[in-house]
């Protein structure tokens, strides 16, 4: 097969060009490590973020939706990054999962997951009634849960866009909340 | 001449799209930045502009009907 010389000239320009752009993008991301969580490996963080799907209340944040069961032997720690609406599940220095989450906690907040878990939770904020499901208690009066309704209206699609701020909560999707309920008691939660 | 240039650009863009899809699949396994649709489109447009500028304005390539 004979390839047109003009086409060849285009490819000689296009593919090295693409390679250079990709290298520059990766170098730029690597140099701006301030956006990344401190104390965990950069590589594991980038790979788990790449595996994130779009935020949807009905779906797990991870592509494939399968979460590994983690025990206290795994030394699990949850790092919530408020700015990025993400919770990183860290074992030792490796990020094993990244989850979409609305973090309604102050920066620097630290606590541990308690024994208490349940199905239904109701909050009243500024006259609005918010119901949530699949809750896991942490710290003093903190909850990881999945929002169900706001003033009787069902929460659909991307819950991260919801304006109502539910203090002392980390709001995650239903499958993620269900998985987080299985986290061992004493798992640390840190907000960065 | 114009239609041939566009046809060549379309072929190149399709190959670039395939390369970006392969890169994104690799990003699920390797610590490289994932290219989302919008950023991938921006990259392709930048490369297209560079190609048009280089081949038509600098190198004066012929994209005649017999090519």
Question: A132 is written with which tokens?
Answer: 């949530």
pLDDT at B32: 93
Among the partner-chain residues A7, A25, A43, the one whose CB lies closest to the CB of B8 is A7
Which residues of chain A carry a pLDDT beneath 70? 1, 34-35, 64-66, 72
Kindly report the pTM of this predicted structure.
0.81
**N residues, chain B:** 67
Write the pLDDT tens digit of every residue in B6-60: 888 899 999 999 999 999 999 999 999 999 999 999 999 999 999 888 877 766 6
**Residue given tokens 């239609």 in the structure block:** B3
Q: Could you report the predicted ipTM of this complex, rounded to two decimals?
A: 0.84
Whether residue B31 and residue A17 make contact (CB cut-off 8 A), yes or no, is no
In chain A, what residues touch B35 (CB-CB under 8 Å)?
22, 25
pLDDT at B67: 46
Write the pLDDT tens digit of every residue in A140-158: 888 899 998 888 888 888 8
Cβ of residue A20 closer than 8 Å to a chain B Cβ: no
What is the 3-class SS of chain A, one letter each residue? CCCCHHHHHHHHHHHHHHHHHHHHHHHHHHHCHHHCCCCCCHHHHHHHHHCECCCCCCCCCECCCCCCCCCHHHCEEEEEECCCCEEEEEECCEEEEEEECEEECCCCCEEEEEEEEEEEEEEEECCEEEEEEEEEEECCCEEEEEEEEECCEECCCCHHHCCCCCCCEEECCHHHHHHHCCCCCCCEEEEC
In chain A, what residues touch B51 (CB-CB under 8 Å)?
10, 13-14
Residue B63 has pLDDT above 70, yes or no: no
pLDDT at B20: 96
């Amino acid at each position: 097969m004979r390839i047109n010389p003009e086409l060849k000239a285009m490819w000689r320009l296009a593919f090295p060009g693409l390679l250079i752009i990709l290298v520059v993008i990766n170098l730029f991301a690597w140099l701006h490590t301030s956006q990344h969580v401190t104390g965990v490996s950069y590589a594991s963080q980038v790979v788990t973020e790449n595996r994130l799907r779009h935020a949807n209340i009905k779906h797990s944040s991870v592509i494939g939706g399968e979460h590994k069961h983690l025990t206290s032997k795994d030394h699990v720690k949850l790092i919530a990054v408020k700015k990025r609406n993400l919770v990183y599940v860290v074992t030792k220095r490796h990020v094993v999962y990244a989850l979409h989450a609305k973090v309604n906690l102050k920066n620097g907040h630290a606590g541990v997951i308690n024994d208490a878990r349940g199905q239904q939770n109701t909050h009243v904020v500024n006259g609005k009634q918010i119901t949530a499901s699949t809750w896991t208690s942490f710290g003093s009066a903190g909850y990881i849960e999945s929002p169900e309704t706001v003033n009787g209206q069902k929460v659909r699609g991307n819950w991260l866009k919801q304006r109502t701020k539910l203090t002392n909560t980390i709001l995650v999707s239903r499958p993620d909340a269900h998985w987080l309920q299985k986290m061992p008691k004493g798992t640390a939660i840190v907000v960065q | 001449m114009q239609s041939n240039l566009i046809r060549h650009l379309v072929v190149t863009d399709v190959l670039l799209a395939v390369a970006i899809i392969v890169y994104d699949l690799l990003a699920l396994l390797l610590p490289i930045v994932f290219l989302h649709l919008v950023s991938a489109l921006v990259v392709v447009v930048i490369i297209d502009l560079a190609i048009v500028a280089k081949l038509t304005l600098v190198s004066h390539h012929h994209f005649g009907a017999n090519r």
